[in-house]
Structure 1
Amino acid sequence: MTPGVSCRPVGVSFRRRPRILHCPSQRLRAGRSPSKTGQRARLVQRLGMERVSCVPLLRRLLLLAAAGLAGAEPQVPCYFVFGDSLVDNGNNNNIASMARANYPPYGVDFPGGATGRFSNGLTTADAISRLLGFDDYIPPYAGATSEQLLTGVNFASAAAGIRDDTGQQLVRTYAQLYTRDTH
């Protein structure tokens, strides 16, 4: 320990578990050898930080990988999305329902504003479509053209359920699975 620096125990020792001692310049654990503690203290002093975290590095690597894949050709020919509000991107906008998100504050971080996504910005399906190499967002089934149906659409509808009586005014799950007449 550093002379003149008082250390205080943090936590309580139960059943002979080592107690952690908090020191302003060092972190000591009871029972550690002084040489190991000194090595760690010197390393901390040399690096200028008390803890080293790999999380920022991993985030940067993931962002670089996503940026590299985003400019590539799509890895799959089409992409269809089924689900509820977690991935709904506007299928409920034009139906009589209280489950809608086409008004602020929804979409405050999304380039197109409030589109019907139940999030501030991208949904998980949007992020996956970017990673797969699609340039545009997958369009909602409710407003898709026949050409868009060939490359993929989003069938998700907020408050959709598996049972037929769940959300009868919404796009039910079984209806998400059937095709519609295209013009």
Structure 2
Amino acid sequence: MIEIEDIATDPKRVRILDGAMKVFLAYGYARTTMDDIARAADMSRPALYLQFKNKTDIYRAIALMLLSRSLEQAKTALAGEGPFAERMMRAIDEALISMMRAVHASPHGAELLDMKSSLADLVGCWRGRLVEHIAKAVQSEAGRNGVDLAAKGLSARLLADMLLDGLEGMKTRISDPDEQRQAAAALIKVIDLALKAG
């Protein structure tokens, strides 16, 4: 089983992944070579091969690094101070919308996103962990407000899944990050209303 949040923080690997991300964004996946990545990481190509077997291995490691950071940011935002809707919006913005800013801004962003099917196992794990964090925050808020979700025909897990499903659908229709934030805020408001007593 892949543990998204348990990514190694070896400085050499992080340097390689950060350099590779810049190269992929600048040239696209297809045109990037292992030499390009080695240069970006300020190391020899043989040294690079000691860390990663090929470009696909590096691409998956970048995805794992970004998804791990995303989960950590969401977890921190949800545990932070302030009203539920503000904490949830921070979590969604930092974990989803802002995370993809550099990819969408790149002329090769579409190519990089088209390859996401090769990351289905990582994305599935990441989504499951994100749902857990959101559901925990929803359950905590319901408890704080004295709301019995089951009596309303709801559950924390159902609301967390609904939020992420809605956000996924929104991304296919809306590409502008500011409009995505507005749509996300509306979805979060609906969930916040479900968590109010009465």
| TM-score between both structures, scaled by the size of structure 1 | 0.26
Q: Which protein is richer in helix relative to its size?
A: 2
Q: Identify which of structures 1 and 2 has the higher relative contact order when contacts are C-alpha pairs closer than 8 Å and 6+ apart.
A: 2
Larger Rg belongs to: 1
| TM-score between both structures, scaled by the size of structure 2 | 0.25
